[in-house]
Structure 1
Amino acid sequence: MKNEKFLSTVGKGLSLLFLAGLVACGGEGEVVETTEVGEAELDNEMVTAETYDADRFNTTFASTNYYEEWDANDDDMLDQNEYTAGLYDTWDVNNDNRLDENEWNTAISDWGLENESWAEWDANADGFLDENEFGTGFADNAWYGEWDTDDNNLLTEREYTDGVFGLWDANDDNMLDEAEYRAYNIYYVD
């Protein structure tokens, strides 16, 4: 039952992302054939996937309300506290206002932070991360500064979407395909 609900949610998320992409580009999508899906190679089977460059991704992703949800004070900028709180909420996939070790392990792997230690982040050893523990554990990460390309200590929506794009672009080819953003759907599904 849980697997069916999860698969249904993932399927809805993919559909929503593709629909948003089609709406953003006026229904004109580029179909690209590839034999690569993530890190796995399919045996001569062709896969079709829509691809996004940074501008197209920005248009599509900006049409969602994710940035606005992170912008707690509604000033159209993200400070570091809003950024960290938004990321915390994003990783809290079961929406119980705390991160359990399973959510954290999955997110750490999915978001490319494999060298982190749960024991170091869970300071009070209660088996969950609250926002303060998350903020302290995440403080050593340089993402916010990397995303803040104009170095004004605030993220615009474009800096935010460019930061997300950069994280998802696993092969650094300046294009996102389905394989690259598929893993992140669990974090960006309503």
Structure 2
Amino acid sequence: MTMKFTKLTGATAIVAALMAGPALAQDMWDANSDGALGAEEFATGFADRGIFSSWDQDSDGLLSDTEFSDGVYGTYDADVSGDLDETEYGMIDEGRSASGYWGNDEVGYDYQAWDVDGDGVILSNEFADGWGETGMFGEFDVDTDGALSEDEFSNGVFGQYDEDGTGIIEEPELTDIGDDMGDEGFWDV
């Protein structure tokens, strides 16, 4: 009976942890338990997700402009079909749309404009061209060497969440991270 109860309790704990994913991730990242994330806390938690290494296709410890574009493209390509249809491109409800997580008012994410050949889907080369025009890679590439180190990548992503520019991610910005890191969120890779 004790063994069955232990198994049941363990299974219940795992299910509860999975259901609490975003909140649990925030709590685990908040090393000093102050209810906010500094750049170092964010960098540690974000690195644990393995996103940088999965985007670093040649494993050289740097992201090229192409690897960066391919990583973003792959994240939007939810059905892994190799092309983005209008639904994938416009997944606004989960913050995954081109005008969602990465978007800002200064950048145009016109689906028709990015679909250069007009076939109704955005291929990776079309996305790379449109994405290049956003200037996001240049914003992240602080040392202007043409590649992103893991620190530059993490700091760039951190800056996207730190919308008020305080150097600390607090509510409501924490909620955005929880949504994006959870199941079917932008960073759920």
Give your verdict on TM over 0.5: yes
- Structure-2 separation of matches of 1:173 and 1:91: 29
Gaps of 5+ in 1: 1-9, 32-50
Q: How many residues align?
A: 159
Partner residue of 1:93 out of 73, 78, 83? 78
Contact map agreement 1:169 1:180 (CA 8 A) in 2:
no
Greater fraction strand: 1
**Which residue number corresponds to residue 177 of structure 2?**
181
Identity between Structure 1 and Structure 2 (%): 27
Q: CA deviation at 1:30?
A: 1.9
1:112 aligns with 2:96: no
* CA offsets 1:14-61 (integer angstroms, 9 cap, x no match): 156236516xx3xx5223xxxxxxxxxxxxxxxxxxx21111111111
Contact map agreement 2:22 2:179 (CA 8 A) in 1:
no
Gaps of 5+ in 2: 1-17
- Structure-2 separation of matches of 1:13 and 1:98: 29
* CA offsets 1:94-148 (integer angstroms, 9 cap, x no match): 4333222122223122122453211110112222211111001112111111111
Contact map agreement 2:27 2:33 (CA 8 A) in 1:
no
Q: CA deviation at 1:93?
A: 3.0
**Which residue number corresponds to residue 83 of structure 1?**
68
Structure number with greater Rg is 2
- 1:135 and 1:148, CA in 2 relative to 1: closer, same or farther beyond 3 A? same
Give 4+ residue runs of structure 1 displaced > 4 Å after superposition.
10-13
Q: CA deviation at 1:11?
A: 4.8
Paired residue type of 2:188 = V
1:53 aligns with 2:44: no
Indicate the RMSD between aligned Cα atoms, in angstroms: 2.3
